[in-house]
Structure 1
């Protein structure tokens, strides 16, 4: 009997700690800076998520609105962060895929919209990979120190 009571007490203590924390002070949440505008990449992600939601629910209006948002991102002055031919190629490809999404939504063609979305996503991945490689190749070589 004593061991079952002891077990129950330990379970209760563990549950209280998990629910209530350890009793240490918790930092209050930091207020959001309302004046801070999302970056173009954050907006691109939000629009892409809207397109995906539209694809999942067969909501062509969401696909269309998301595609419009993606197209607006490309027009944003902060979009163009690199002048390489490869970057410009990816940027133009992104715009074409976004326009393809818009057309597919207008035509109510789920398959075409899904394909455009996949191609758009692959374009994003390739572009971001290119930009990482550009940063790596542009970074100065690490300095090595000889052991004395």
Structure 2
């Protein structure tokens, strides 16, 4: 049945949108900017992900495709690779595959596949950012050296 898959996808997108909108919590320290005119790779990633979400909400496959292209370009940016751990590289490769899945779904005009790829992509982001926070805590002065894995 197509209805349950579509409903599950939209529920997932809604949950992800709420998670993404809560990204600026009080506990997250703002990062200093190198150049106030040029957005960081993570700011560009967020803008492209929002474009994909807008495309999903309006069934605009061109926006989904354009957003996916932008996400792929973010991964190729030299500033993307900030960590050499196997786990980080795994998340980075997974992010690229999910972005490519978004492109394919947009090309095929498959809303359900695009929605699921978007949810998977966003969950990859959340997991990777969690990993990076854990790595930072492990490396922090006064740390016990034990990451929460």
Query: 1:84 and 2:88 equivalent?
Result: no
What residue is the counterpart of 1:55 in the other structure? 56
Structural RMSD (CA):
1.2
> Per-residue CA shift, 1:82-106, capped at 9, x if unaligned?
0000000000000000000000000
| Structure 2 unaligned blocks of 5 or more | 1-34, 144-149
1:35 offset after TM fit, Å? 6.2
> Per-residue CA shift, 1:72-127, capped at 9, x if unaligned?
00000000000000000000000000000000000000000000000000000000
Where do residues 99-118 of structure 1 align in structure 2 (5 Å cutoff)? 99-118=100-119
Q: Which has the greater radius of gyration?
A: 1
What residue is the counterpart of 2:121 in the other structure? 120
Where do residues 25-44 of structure 1 align in structure 2 (5 Å cutoff)? 36-44=37-45
What residue is the counterpart of 1:97 in the other structure? 98
> Per-residue CA shift, 1:26-79, capped at 9, x if unaligned?
xxxxxxxx9620000000000000000000000000000000000000000000
| Structure 1 unaligned blocks of 5 or more | 1-33, 143-148
Whole-Å separation in 2 of the counterparts to 1:113 and 1:36? 32
Whole-Å separation in 2 of the counterparts to 1:66 and 1:60? 10
What is the TM-score with the length of structure 1 in the denominator?
0.72
